[in-house]
Structure 1
Amino acid sequence: MSARDRAREALERLVDASTAERALISVASLVLAMLVGTVLILVSGRMTTCAPSDAAYYFGVGFCYDPLTVYDRLFLGALGDPLRQGWSPLNSQLAVTLRETTVLVFTGLSVAIAFRAGIFNIGTQGQLVVGALATGLGVLWASPLVSGVVGTVLLIPLGLAIGATFGALYGAIPGVLKAYADANEVITTIMLNLIATGVTLYLVSDVFKDPNSQANQTVPLPDYATFPSILFGGSTDFSLVALLLGVAALVALAYLIERTTFGYDVRTSGLQPEAAEYGGVDSKRTIVASMMLSGALGGVGGAMYVLMILGKFQTGVPAYGFDGITVSILAGNNPLGVGLAALLFGVLKSGTTVVQFATDVPPQLVGVLRGLIILFVAMPEFFRLIGKRVGSAGERGSKPAATDGGVGSGGVDDE
């Protein structure tokens, strides 16, 4: 058997892996990443000078960096150190982890819906930025009209709706170009990311700038126009209400994809576009609709960033949209899996900060460790997606399109 045949067989086995097997592969990948990271920590610790009393000793050899301490701070630190006496589940560090998770749920869903439709939406970051700015300006304009609890009840849904609308409109641009001009969506979405960043920078630094601040930001929103901090306290920039909305979005999108006609159109277009066309699916409309829904979810992520974290729009938005790409790949583009992948990312992002403050490990090494974990855990799912596309291409070339709503032996429901 040739190397190419062995590679194809390995991909087919990975594609056919059950949910339990995929979970075990992910756990094994995480363990392997930590082992590789341990070696890097120890090697770096030997290359660094420190006092003998500060060194960690393994096999009689002193190392300036202790891998056990690093991983303890990376994972348990992100949860507020649950092994510590007097630990409370409502601690501020866990709030930071859940805050990051909440935004990543929406950006991960944004990428996942586009990927399920066979569209590589690299523009979630731009859609998030546009939605965030629109939310900040829209809610700021409406906030003098209401106040108090009534203002909170009215302004938060308004802000989410504005973010979703502008994100959807911005996502429609590459969708229309893809559907009706056959423009490569990777190129157009990357370009639109740059345009979104540049235009928002101009608007916030010139037209809508807060005159009382040196930073490029809009006027802060009143407290009643932002998500209420429930249980965790107002200093954490996290709202349990926002997280619950994220969970609802996970369930709603999973139902939409797996149980509705639109979801069927999206899945068949992503797996077997020729069969979908033959079966009566309007591929152009599906592409545009998928990109609009993807952009809307990205825009809601931007609204969450403004209404929950900052309370205003400020340039230099973190790369939540790009992180959403990896979250989606790690979840296998499964909406419910996005929740777990987003939580892992939230732990890593929050724990990275704890490691930097609680240890002497340089931030560059911490970034490498985080990247290793993401790479090792995401790569099996990445290859699984490649295997699906390779298998779908082979089926399209060897089997006739189904005319009864099915898509051959590699059925859509296996996605």
Structure 2
Amino acid sequence: MSAADRARDALARLIDASAAERILISTAALVLSILVGAAIVLVAGRMTTCSPGDAVYYFGAGFCYDPVLVFDRLFLGALGDPLSGSWSPEGQFSVTLRETTLLLFTGLSVALAFRAGIFNIGTQGQMIVGGLATALLVLWASTLVSGVVGTVLLVPFGVLVGAVFGGLYGAIPGLLKAYAEANEVITTIMLNFIATGVTLYLVSDTFKDPNSAANQTVPLPDYAQFPTVLFGGRQDFSLVALFFGLVAIVGLYYVLEHTAFGYDVRTSGIQPAAAEYGGVDAARTIVASLTLSGALGGVAGAMYVMMVLGSFQSGVPAYGFDGITVSILAGNNPLGVGFAALLFGVLKSGTTVVQFATDVPPQLVGVLRGLIILFVAMPEFFRLIGRRLTDLGSQPVATDGGRTEGDADE
């Protein structure tokens, strides 16, 4: 058997890997990335000058950076030191859960579009539009109700507003792709710039808080924000928001796997021509997929406003672009998005801990984080590419909207 044949055979086995096997592969990739990262830390520590008292010794040689301490702070530090005996849900653990919650929605947003064969690079813009709309409309509605009743009504209202406006913004590239054959990568990137520029103008002029030097809207009252449960009010995290995220994961999984719309999305993403031949309305599926994808991005914006800031500010962090990485890590599977978002949330939170708890340069910490993401993502990346390069998974499409054999894995 030639090397090319062995490579094709390995790729075929990777494509047909079960969920348990894919978890084991990702775990092995994570362990390998840590080992490679530890070697990089040691090499960097050997090339750095420090006093003998600050050096750590491995293999009989002194190093200025300790890889064990770095990865301890990166992972356990992000979880609030659960092995310390004085663990508290507040502090860094809440930061990790906050990042995870936001990445759940942006990851689901990108994953849904990818499953439909659409590259939605515009989740960031949809998040921004949904966040600004939430801040403005919830602020207006907060004058009508207050107290506990206000919280019960305004929190779901804010999430709905973010979903509606994010969905409408996502529908724009969907309509352009479906009826004008515009490339969605280009249109969504352009719409990101438009969303950033327009919202910056609005919050620095029309809707600017007159009592703040920052470019932001008037802050929402406390009762118009997500309530804190088990976490202090200054932790910028709410278990209620995380619950919304878990519901979104289960809901999207059910929609994709057990509804006619989900069948249309999956078949369009695998075999667009065969799906259309089988009766799938390609244009409608494209618009609906990007609309729902944008709605999930808009909900992330609502969460950012109502859970993290309490207002809308310019300069929204790049959660939408991070969602692309989360989706790839998860293999575009809604259930996998939860685990990928948690891993990415740990890495983002732990990076801050490492920078404060060690002397390792932030550039090196960024390399370690990128290395872990790269190693964990590559098996799924090759798996997705393999599906495009082989005929595996090209089962015939049922014209009655039913599921064909082998479709469940998709």
TM-score range, shorter chain: over 0.9
Is the contact made by 2:263 and 2:403 (CA closer than 8 Å) also made in structure 1?
no
Is the contact made by 1:275 and 1:407 (CA closer than 8 Å) also made in structure 2?
no
| Matched residue SS, 1:145 | coil
Is the contact made by 1:42 and 1:63 (CA closer than 8 Å) also made in structure 2?
yes
Query: What are the superposed Cα offsets for residues 17-64 of structure 1, whole Å, 9 maximum, x if unpaired?
Result: 111111111011111111111111111111211111111111121111
**Which whole-Å CA distance do the structure 1 matches of 2:26 and 2:142 have between them?**
46
Q: Is 1:334 aligned with 2:329?
A: no
Aligned ranges for residues 117-156 of structure 1 at < 5 Å?
117-156=116-155
**Structure 1 residues 94, 395: CA separation in 2 closer, same or farther (over 3 Å shift)?**
closer
How many residues in Structure 1 have an aligned counterpart in Structure 2?
Answer: 410
State the Cα distance separating 1:325 from its structure 2 match. Answer: 0.6
Query: What are the superposed Cα offsets for residues 91-121 of structure 1, whole Å, 9 maximum, x if unpaired?
Result: 3211111111001000010001101111011
**Which whole-Å CA distance do the structure 1 matches of 2:41 and 2:2 have between them?**
38
State the Cα distance separating 1:407 from its structure 2 match. Answer: 7.4
**Which whole-Å CA distance do the structure 1 matches of 2:93 and 2:76 have between them?**
10
**Which whole-Å CA distance do the structure 2 matches of 1:141 and 1:401 have between them?**
49
RMSD over aligned CA atoms reads 1.6
2:17 match: 17
1:267 match: 266
**Which whole-Å CA distance do the structure 2 matches of 1:3 and 1:195 have between them?**
49
Identity of aligned residues (%): 77
**Which whole-Å CA distance do the structure 1 matches of 2:209 and 2:5 have between them?**
62
2:107 match: 108
Is the contact made by 1:105 and 1:338 (CA closer than 8 Å) also made in structure 2?
yes
| Matched residue SS, 1:57 | strand
1:50 match: 50
Query: What are the superposed Cα offsets for residues 296-345 of structure 1, whole Å, 9 maximum, x if unpaired?
Result: 00000010000000000011111101111111111111111100000001
Is the contact made by 1:251 and 1:335 (CA closer than 8 Å) also made in structure 2?
yes
**Which whole-Å CA distance do the structure 1 matches of 2:116 and 2:157 have between them?**
29
State the Cα distance separating 1:402 from its structure 2 match. Answer: 4.9
**Which whole-Å CA distance do the structure 1 matches of 2:128 and 2:167 have between them?**
12
Q: Which runs of 5+ in 1 are unaligned?
A: none
| Matched residue SS, 2:74 | helix
1:61 match: 61
State the Cα distance separating 1:395 from its structure 2 match. Answer: 7.3
**Which whole-Å CA distance do the structure 2 matches of 1:395 and 1:254 have between them?**
20
**Structure 1 residues 194, 3: CA separation in 2 closer, same or farther (over 3 Å shift)?**
farther
1:316 match: 315
> TM-score normalised to the size of structure 2?
0.97
Is the contact made by 1:275 and 1:402 (CA closer than 8 Å) also made in structure 2?
no
1:293 match: 292
1:80 match: 80
Q: Which amino acid aligns with 2:361?
A: P
State the Cα distance separating 1:391 from its structure 2 match. Answer: 2.7
State the Cα distance separating 1:390 from its structure 2 match. Answer: 2.1
State the Cα distance separating 1:6 from its structure 2 match. Answer: 4.0
Q: Which amino acid aligns with 1:31?
A: V
Is the contact made by 1:75 and 1:351 (CA closer than 8 Å) also made in structure 2?
yes
> TM-score normalised to the size of structure 1?
0.95
Is the contact made by 2:50 and 2:64 (CA closer than 8 Å) also made in structure 1?
yes
